[in-house]
Amino acid sequence: MIDEDEAQTGSNTGQGGMYHWEAAYQRSWDALEEDDSGSLAAHVAALAREKLARRRHVLALSNSAVPVHRGLIRHQFLVLDMSEAIASPADYLLPTRLECVLHNAQVYVDHFLTVNPLGCIGLIATRDGGAEKYTELTGNTAEHIAAIQNKSNREPRGEPSLQNALEIARRSLLHVPSHGSREILVLYSALTTCDPGNISETIQSLKADNIRVSIIGLSAEMRICKHICKETKGIYNVIMNEQHLKEVLASHVAPPAVESEKTASLAMIEMGFPSSTSFASPTICANHGKPTQIGYECPRCKTTICSLPTDCPICSLTLVSSVLLARSYHHLFPVPPFVEIPVSHRTSHFSLSLAAQIQLIVVHVKWHSLLHQQGSGRYQCPNCMHLFCLECDIYCHELLHNCVGCLGGSNH
C-alpha cells in the first residue's frame, strides 16, 4: 500500500521526482547566450536594454507637466485573432506565434486588472469567418485565464472577421455607463478579413458610441486597421518581436487620458459599497446565473452578485469596494519621475531601498556596470533627494506606486 504522505508527494511531483515548481529552474543556464568570443556581455546587455525600456514606459506615464484626467472605470474587450494565420510560423515570436500571443494575453489580462482594479475586461475570438465571446466583462482574472487555457479555445481555424468581432464588442459596450471608458484592443495576425457587410458602417457606429479601438498587428501593416484606429482615436502598432509586443501591451495597461469635452460633462458618480456575505444556502448570482455561497448584496435592491467591481444587473448601480477604490488612487497622483544622476555626480551611497539591504555579488555589480554604459544607473527622487538604482526606480513606479524615501519621511 502507498502511504498517504507519499501519495500527496507524488501528486506534486513531475518527471524525475522533481516538484513542479522546480521544473522552471531546471537547467536555467541554458537560457544564457554566448557570443563568438564566449562572453555573456551581449546577453546581459540585452537584459539591461529591457530594463531601460521599462523605465521609458514609466517616464511616459508619469512625466507630464500638466495634470491629466484619466478614466479609472475602464471597460475593455480583448479580441484575439484565432484564425489559421496565427498558426503560421514566425521567427520573431517563439516558440510559436500562437503560444507567444496567448501567453502574453494572459499576462496582459492579469496586469490590466491589477493596475485597473475598478476596470473590467472581456475576451472575444474571431475565426471561421465569425466571432465568439469567450468571457463577459468582469474583473475576475481567473475566469479569463481559464478561458484562454481552455483547449477548445486554442484551436486556430479558418479566416478572421474583424467586423463581426467589433460588432460583438460594440453591442456589449453599449450598456456601459457614460462615466466608464469603452475600449477594444485587437491582437490581429491575418492580412485579410472576411466580413459579412460594409465595415465602414461599423466604424461609424463605433465613433457614434465613443468606443476607442486599438489594434496590434502581428504580421504587417494593414490599411483598414490603421483607418479604424485613426477614426476611433485609438493606437495602431505593428510589432517587430516578442519584446516589442510586451512593450506595446504594457502601454495599454494604464488608463488613457480623458478628452476635455467629456471631462466637462462629468458629474458625481453614484456608487454602492457592498460587504462580503456568506449565504446559508447556495444563491444564484445575478451576473452569471451560477450558484454561490459567498458573494455580495447590492445595497439598493439586495441583488446577489459574486464578484466586484461590476454594475448591478437589476438597478444598474456601480458596485465597488473601498479597497479597489484606494488601489486606483495612484493614477490620479502618480509618483514623479526620478531624475537620472550623471556619472560625474556619484556619491558614496547607492540606493535607499532593497539593493542597499542585501550583499551585492559580482554578477550584480557587472549588471550595473553594463547599465552605466547606457546611462548612469542612478536616479534621484526630486522630492526627498534619495538615490535609487534602476530596478528600485521601476519597482517604485510600477508596483509600489510610492517613493520609499518620501514614505520614510527623512530628507538628506
Q: Per residue of the chain (412 residues), what is the pLDDT tens digit?
A: 444 444 444 444 444 555 544 544 455 555 556 666 666 666 666 666 666 666 666 665 555 444 566 677 899 999 999 999 999 888 888 888 999 999 999 999 999 998 888 889 999 999 999 999 999 888 889 999 999 999 899 999 999 999 999 999 999 999 887 778 899 999 999 999 999 999 999 999 999 999 999 999 999 999 999 999 999 999 999 999 888 899 899 889 888 777 655 554 556 778 889 988 888 888 888 877 888 888 899 999 988 888 888 888 888 888 888 888 777 777 677 788 888 887 555 554 444 444 444 333 333 444 444 444 455 567 888 888 888 887 788 788 777 778 888 887 644 4
Q: Give the CA count within 13 Å in the CB-facing half-sphere of 215.
A: 27
- Beta carbons of 165 and 124 less than 8 angstroms apart: yes
Stretch(es) of the chain classified as CATH 3.30.40.10: 334-408
CATH architecture under which domain 334-408 falls: 2-Layer Sandwich (3.30)
- CATH 3.40.50.300 at 72-258, yes or no: no
Please report the pLDDT score of residue 329 as a whole number.
Answer: 73
Stretch(es) of the chain classified as CATH 3.30.60: 271-331
Which CA distances in Å does 129 have to 22, 160, 163, 204, 309?
Answer: 42, 5, 10, 22, 33
Per the structure block, which three cell numbers stand in for 402? Answer: 510610492
- Beta carbons of 69 and 257 less than 8 angstroms apart: yes
3-state SS class at 133: strand
Which CA distances in Å does 341 have to 49, 52, 120, 388?
Answer: 18, 15, 39, 10
- Beta carbons of 191 and 85 less than 8 angstroms apart: yes
- Map grid coordinates 504522505 to a residue: 5
CA-only gyration radius of the chain, Å: 24
Q: What is the DSSP letter of 24?
A: T
Please report the pLDDT score of residue 41 as a whole number.
Answer: 65
Count of other CB atoms within 10 angstroms of residue 388: 27
Which CA distances in Å does 185 have to 71, 252, 355?
Answer: 16, 8, 37
CA 374 from chain center: how many Å?
A: 28
3-state SS class at 6: helix
**Which residue type does 361 have?**
I
Q: Is the peptide bond before 95 cis (omega within 30 degrees of 0)?
A: yes
State whether the Cα torsion 120-59-388-247 is positive or negative: positive
3-state SS class at 359: coil
Count of other CB atoms within 10 angstroms of residue 36: 6
Please report the pLDDT score of residue 60 as a whole number.
Answer: 59
**C-alpha to C-alpha distance for 358 and 297, rounded to whole angstroms:** 47
Count of other CB atoms within 10 angstroms of residue 188: 25
Stretch(es) of the chain classified as CATH 3.40.50.410: 72-258
**C-alpha to C-alpha distance for 319 and 335, rounded to whole angstroms:** 28
Q: Is the peptide bond before 309 cis (omega within 30 degrees of 0)?
A: yes
Pick the CATH number of 271-331 from 3.40.720, 3.30.60, 3.30.1490, 3.30.565: 3.30.60
**C-alpha to C-alpha distance for 409 and 337, rounded to whole angstroms:** 18
From the list 271, 274, 303, the residue with the least C-alpha distance to 289 is 303
